[in-house]
C-alpha cells in the first residue's frame, strides 16, 4: 500500500462536515432512511464550477441501446487507440465536467465510452448547507434543513432505483456493443480498461473482479453440475478508481485485475476499518496487483473534474488524474 498524504486544507469538504453531524431522520413521519450509514455526499450529486473557457468535444450517441458520451483521440482512427470505460458519479453522462474528464483521457490516446448508467435519471442535487448564514432567521434555517432532509431522502430513493441488478446489465450491454464497434481499440489495448469515480468507482471494481453470483452477470449465469455456478472472469484488463461510494468488502475481495485506488483520508463515504483495510488484505493474499494512494485534507469527490478556489486541492486533483492515467497506460 502506497500512502501519499497531501497536506491540504479543504474549506469545500462539506461531505466530511456533514458526516460529523448527527444522522438525520426522515422528514416524513413513520419513514426510515433507505440506506444504513452514509450514502452519497454533495460531491457525488453536484458539479463543481466548470473551469472557464472549456467545452466538451465528444459526442452523445447510443451503444448497445444505451446513451453514451464518446470521446476519441484527435488522430483516431488513423493512429491506434485503447478502449476505456469511464463511469461517473451521480451527476451522470450529461454533466459538462464529466464530459471534460472523458475528453482529458481521450487527449492521452484512449477512446473513451462514458455510458448513462442511470437511464436518464441522474442523482437529485443536494442542498448546500453553507447557504445557512449566521444572520439567517430561525425559520429560514429550519426551512433549509428540512429541504436538506428531503433531498437526503430523495437520494436514498434514487439509490434504491439504481442497484447492481439494474446497473450491471446496462454496463454489460455497453461493453459488448463497444467491443464490437471499436474492435480495433480493444485489440490494440489487449482488452477493455476502466476508470470510475464515486458511484461509478464501485462498478469498475466489480467489473475488475471474478464473480459467481447472478446479480453481477444476469439471470442466465451458467452452472456446472458438480461445482455450481461458474465464475466469470473479469471484464476489465485493468482499472483505476477514485473515492468509491457504496463499496463493500466483498467487491474488493473479488478483484482479480490490476487496480489503482485514490482514497480520501477519513472518507465518510468509505469505511477504512470495514471495507478498505480488509479489502486490501484480501488483494494482497490473492496476489492481485494494486496500489492504494491516500490523499489527506481533501473532500470526497475531489478527483472529479471541476474548479476549486483552493490551489492545493487543484494540485491533488491533477495528481490523482495523473496517477490513474499512468496506471491504465502501464497495464
User: Of the candidates 229, 216, 291, which has an alpha carbon nearest to the alpha carbon of residue 258?
Assistant: 291
Give the pLDDT of the chain (331 residues) as one tens digit per residue. 444 443 333 333 333 333 333 333 332 223 233 333 445 555 555 677 677 788 999 999 999 999 999 999 999 999 999 999 999 998 899 999 999 999 999 999 999 999 999 988 888 763 333 343 444 455 555 544 555 555 566 777 877 888 888 999 999 999 999 999 999 999 999 999 999 999 999 999 999 999 875 555 544 444 554 544 556 789 999 999 999 999 999 999 999 999 999 999 999 889 989 999 999 999 999 999 999 999 999 999 899 998 888 888 899 999 999 999 999 999 9
Name, in order, each residue with C-beta under 8 angstroms of 295's C-beta and a sequence gap of 6 or more.
4, 5, 6, 262, 263, 264, 265, 302, 316, 319, 320
For the chain, domains (ranges, CATH) are: 14-329 (3.40.50.1820)
Number of alpha helices (DSSP H) and beta strands (DSSP E) in the chain: 11, 10
| Contacts for 226 with CB less than 8 Å, ≥ 6 apart | none
For residue 255, what are the β-bridge partners? 209
CB neighbours of 16 closer than 8 A, spacing ≥ 6?
A: 266, 267, 268, 299, 300
Within 13 Å of residue 257, how many CA atoms lie on the same side as its CB?
29
Amino acid at each position: 500500500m502506497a500512502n501519499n498524504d497531501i497536506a491540504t486544507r479543504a474549506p469545500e469538504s462539506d461531505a466530511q462536515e456533514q458526516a460529523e453531524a448527527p444522522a438525520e431522520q426522515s422528514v416524513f413521519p413513520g419513514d426510515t432512511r433507505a440506506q444504513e450509514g452514509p450514502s452519497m455526499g454533495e460531491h457525488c450529486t453536484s458539479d463543481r464550477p466548470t473551469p472557464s473557457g472549456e467545452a466538451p468535444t465528444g459526442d452523445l450517441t447510443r451503444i448497445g441501446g444505451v446513451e453514451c458520451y464518446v470521446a476519441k483521440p484527435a488522430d483516431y482512427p488513423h493512429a491506434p487507440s485503447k478502449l476505456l470505460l469511464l463511469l461517473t458519479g451521480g451527476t451522470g453522462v450529461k454533466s459538462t465536467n464529466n464530459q471534460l474528464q472523458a475528453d482529458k483521457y481521450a487527449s492521452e490516446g484512449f477512446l473513451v465510452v462514458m455510458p448513462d448508467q442511470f437511464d436518464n435519471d441522474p442523482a437529485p442535487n443536494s442542498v448546500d448547507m453553507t447557504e445557512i448564514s449566521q444572520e439567517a432567521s430561525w425559520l429560514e434555517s429550519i426551512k433549509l434543513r428540512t429541504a436538506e432532509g428531503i433531498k437526503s431522502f430523495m437520494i436514498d430513493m434514487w439509490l434504491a432505483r439504481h442497484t447492481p441488478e439494474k446497473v450491471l446489465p446496462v454496463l454489460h450491454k455497453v461493453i459488448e456493443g463497444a467491443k464490437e464497434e471499436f474492435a480495433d481499440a480493444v485489440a490494440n489495448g489487449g482488452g477493455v480498461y476502466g476508470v470510475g469515480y464515486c458511484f461509478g468507482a464501485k462498478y469498475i471494481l466489480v467489473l475488475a473482479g471474478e464473480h459467481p453470483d447472478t446479480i453481477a452477470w444476469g439471470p442466465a449465469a451458467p452452472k456446472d453440475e458438480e461445482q455450481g455456478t461458474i465464475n466469470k472472469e473479469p471484464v476489465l484488463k485493468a482499472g483505476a478508481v477514485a473515492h468509491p461510494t457504496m463499496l463493500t468488502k466483498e467487491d474488493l475481495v473479488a478483484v482479480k485485475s490490476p487496480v489503482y485506488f485514490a482514497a480520501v483520508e477519513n472518507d465518510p463515504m468509505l469505511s477504512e476499518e470495514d471495507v478498505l483495510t480488509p479489502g486490501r488484505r484480501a488483494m494482497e493474499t490473492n496476489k492481485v496487483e494494486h496500489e492504494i494512494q491516500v490523499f489527506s485534507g481533501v473532500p470526497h469527490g475531489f478527483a472529479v473534474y471541476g474548479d476549486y478556489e483552493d490551489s492545493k486541492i487543484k494540485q491533488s486533483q491533477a495528481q490523482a488524474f495523473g496517477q490513474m492515467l499512468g496506471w491504465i497506460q502501464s497495464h
